[in-house]
Structure 1
Amino acid sequence: MSEEPAALLTAYDDQLRERAEFHGAREVVRHGPLWWGIFSHGGFCSYRDLAGAEGSDVDELVRATVAHFREQTGVERFEWKTRGHDAPADLPERLVAQGLVAEERETVMIGEATGLAVPVQVPDGVSIRRAGEGGDLLDDVRRASAMQESVFGMGRGSDPEELARQVADVAGGGLWLAEADGEVVSAGRLTVVPGTEFAGIWGGSTLPEWRGRGIYRALTAARAVAALGLGVRYIHSDCTDMSRPILERSGLVAVTTTTPYIWTRD
């Protein structure tokens, strides 16, 4: 029996915030309830909660964060990750007032891996496999990245060589491809979160002419099977409004929303 959304949200808050979000950061600094980290792609700010801060106390946390990344790091931008169920309710307005810009809101989806690991019918001629199994890993990653850029736009795909290094570690997850006549028509990653019961599914994309045929659901199922083999209990993803119905059909449940607020150096 699947868990209720409230229980899934509790697991999310307990396991996927703070320390788990900063795995792989080259530098982490604590400031009150905040965690500040620096990654290869820039700075990142998150927290479990703001310890009841309101009003001017929140403004001071935002000012301190901007000052830290502006004056003490060389990053060009940082993300303050908000969640829809967090307090205070006026945090978004306070972030904008200090120069941060909201990006697209996404829905946090969670489901038990056992519920997702089910057979899914795909069209004749379509095959699904893990990148590097039955093919060259770097070539698989390059072709998947090119497909992703064709869907999301140039510059939106992952760096192929960096991604190949990441997915080479089987215990850390991997990249799955759906192919038809040698063409990558859909792809998505699985990333196990160290020290938790979770793995994330990310980067999911399907060529427009192949959508609505069960292919992405099959990719989700294949990743769930792999996750179970790695001891994972929960699958999670931050998804757009376009992806949400697909993940809901796969068995994930919406538990909250998340909106990145971005600061960029002048």
Structure 2
Amino acid sequence: MNNNQLLQLFDKEMREEIEYPEARKEITADVVRFTREAPAMNFVSKTFASDADLDRVIEQELAHFAPMNQPFTWKVYSHDTLPTLTEKLEQHNFVRDEDDGDIMILDVDSAPSHLFDPVKADIRRITNLKGLKDVVSVLDKVYGNNNEWVYKRLGGHLTIPGYLSIYAAYADDQPVSVAWTYFQKGKFASLFAGSTRTEYRKRGLYTSLLSARLKEIRERRYQYAMVEAGEMSRPIVEKHGFQYLATAWDYLWEGGK
């Protein structure tokens, strides 16, 4: 599959056909939109409208979302063929999130063989609400804030058969690194986190967690592992064979300023 075909498949499966259990999806003639219960983020994942219609479409979506008084994001990708979309969003008081994400893809069938070697680190699967305390512990230490959201969001997703797999790496029987995978319908499995406590970095724990997840992805016959990588993580996943597909930007509506 060439790059253009892969982009088309990505748009179809990950921006149009994708489902989120906590969100209502609506596909109109102009956009694909997702609505969640407050205070969660609502967003537009795909824009079908022509460039000439963007003012109308943006105002239409604002009329739909603004009365909900919730965060609202418009997702933009580097391969979108809408030259003025970002300009029009900014004119309507959307501000680009500084954390751009590069969509990195690994074809599991051609992944480096070392990723499927036996894992030497202490990697454990977390399967219930009680085990999520280890995820919260690592995230709190890595980011220095409160991550109680994990219990509701990831805890709820763990109850959906086959949807979410969470792994943690342990040192001295303490959780020190965590990562998880979402399995949507189709060919893509989405990788998240890979967060490691500072004092345990450079020990191969990210690679061990990646290996554990890729083995499951291959066993479940998904073709592609996908990660949205930031500036620091892109070189790491590139080292393991991931290839650049596109860049994603989130444009957050700042309200009627």
Common fold: TM-score over 0.5: yes
Residues 148 and 157 in structure 1, CA contact (< 8 A), matched pair in contact too: no
Cα offset, 1:261, TM superposition: 0.7
Q: 1:25-68 CA deviation, whole Å, 9 max, x = no partner? A: 54333332301221242311122x535x124x112111111111
Match of 1:228 in 2: 218
* Distance in 1 separating the partners of 2:149 and 2:138: 11
* Distance in 2 separating the partners of 1:60 and 1:70: 15
* Distance in 2 separating the partners of 1:261 and 1:244: 21
**Residues 1:66 and 2:56 aligned together:** no
The one-letter code of the counterpart of 2:172 is: D
Cα offset, 1:8, TM superposition: 3.3
Match of 2:101 in 1: 106
* Distance in 1 separating the partners of 2:138 and 2:132: 10
Distance 1:252 1:174, change over 3 A: same
**What TM-score comes out, normalization by structure 2 length?**
0.87
Find the partner of 1:16 among 1, 14, 17: 14
Q: 1:50-90 CA deviation, whole Å, 9 max, x = no partner? A: 35x124x112111111111014xx24111111101112233
* Distance in 1 separating the partners of 2:118 and 2:247: 28
Q: Any stretches of 5+ residues in structure 2 without a counterpart?
A: none
Cα offset, 1:110, TM superposition: 0.8
Distance 1:4 1:209, change over 3 A: farther
Q: Any stretches of 5+ residues in structure 1 without a counterpart?
A: none
**Residues 1:129 and 2:124 aligned together:** yes
Residues 93 and 255 in structure 2, CA contact (< 8 A), matched pair in contact too: no
The one-letter code of the counterpart of 2:165 is: G
Match of 1:187 in 2: 178
Percent sequence identity over matched residues?
Answer: 24
> 1:222-261 alignment to 2 at 5 Å?
222-261=212-251
The one-letter code of the counterpart of 2:170 is: E
Distance 1:162 1:37, change over 3 A: closer
Residues 76 and 265 in structure 1, CA contact (< 8 A), matched pair in contact too: no
The one-letter code of the counterpart of 1:166 is: H
* Distance in 2 separating the partners of 1:212 and 1:90: 43
The one-letter code of the counterpart of 2:240 is: S
Residues 135 and 178 in structure 2, CA contact (< 8 A), matched pair in contact too: yes
The one-letter code of the counterpart of 2:42 is: G
**What TM-score comes out, normalization by structure 1 length?**
0.84
- CA RMSD, aligned part only? 2.3
Residues 151 and 206 in structure 1, CA contact (< 8 A), matched pair in contact too: yes
